Amino acid sequence: MGSGIDLGRIAEAVDHLITAPISNWTILKGIPLGELYAAARRHAGGPLTLAAARLLVDRVKPSDTVLLISGFIMRDYQRPETDGPIGAAVLARALALGFGARPVGVSEAAATDVMSACFAAAGLPRAALVDLPRGRHQCAIVPFTLDEGEADTAAKKLLDEVDPSAVIAIERPGANRRGRYHGGGGFDISAFTAKTDALFAEAKARGIATIGIGDLGNELGMGTIADEVRVLVPQGERCQCPCQGGIAAALAADVAIIANISNWGAYGVAACLAAGLGDESILHTADDEGRFIDACVAAGAVDPVGGQLRAYVDGTDRATNAAMVELLGSLVRLGARPTRDVEQYRASWHGRQHPS
């Protein structure tokens, strides 16, 4: 943008923050986050959050629809976890404020109330899908089928209807090489998991941009690093269910982001978008983060580590999550240069100069 901003350096710092191994899950399970990140980075060719942000800048235009797939139903509770829907809401908000995009959240019916609560807390009131084009900063939340036999037809129908410019999966179960979905412990969760792999696969077939955000390797889009997940992650190669195909997700995204907590990966992309546009309001605040977590829990989501209705994400408390957002916000404030010239903004992502 010709103003001295170095998005690459900001993104390096963002990636460093969101991969800090400080969650209970990462510490207790010994997840080799650094090696998984390195594998994803080799594919992206640089900082992961910047690669995802660049893809969105290139593809998403005003009034475009973006699908955000999230919700991970916990086997022992039959409720979604707190990681995922909040990150989806944060990215939905960033794309709505920054680009005038129209976000559509997708999950199984069991998670749509949680998705709606998170999107509403982010300032995006829910509207019917047919009414979405009529107002600014609204969202739609739609359930996807649990039936594998219906999934391909349902995916084509939804993509035909909304014609999205990007599909983003945040902490969303991804089927393994044998078509089965697994939790982190290696158990089969296919029976109560919506078959959103069909939606992702159809988007890829149509040339629609795809981004996957995960923290273990069993999430949709993490097929990009499936070989590494099978070797490095417990249950990655061989799961505890009869399929014996491991938990590694098979479908690859155009950009795969591995983070310590998947929500943080979404926050990192929002931070890069905010920095590039020079508008820190695109990234939510630490106070907002607390509200989002509270809204998510109030709607019925559980902390997957503690298994409680408490203000934690992956065993990490409210204050720690808010502190992460505060640190990301500091990077945006210190590194960004204000501009509302969209063409100037787009040029900056590729190192092109634009007349001031």
**pLDDT digit string, tens, across residues 65-74:** 999 999 999 9
Rounded Cα–Cα distance for residues 32 and 44 (Å)? 19
Name residue 11's amino acid: A
Strands (E), the chain: 65-69, 73-74, 79-80, 102-107, 140-143, 166-170, 209-214, 255-258, 312-313, 316-317
pLDDT, residue 3, reads 44
Of the candidates 194, 169, 136, 98, the residue with the CA atom closest to the CA atom of residue 127? 136
What are the residue boundaries of the structural domains of the chain, listed by start? 7-348
CATH dotted code for 7-348: 3.90.1640.20
pLDDT, residue 134, reads 83
98 sits in the region (left: phi over 0; alpha: psi -120 to 50; else beta) called alpha
Measure Cα distances from 87 to 78, 137, 156, 345 in Å.
20, 17, 25, 24
pLDDT along the chain (356 residues), means of 10: 69 96 68 93 98 98 97 96 98 97 98 98 96 89 98 98 98 98 96 98 98 97 98 95 97 98 98 94 98 98 93 95 98 71 57 40
239, 220 contact by CB (below 8 A): no
Query: How many beta carbons lie within 10 A of that of residue 191, not counting itself?
Result: 9
pLDDT, residue 337, reads 57
Q: Which residues contact 345 (CB under 8 A, 6 or more apart)?
A: 1, 57, 276, 277, 278, 339
Q: Which long-range contacts (CB under 8 A, 24 or more apart) does 26-29 make?
A: 26/215, 26/260, 26/314, 28/305, 28/315, 29/184, 29/234
The span from the first CA to the last CA of the chain, in angstroms, equals: 8
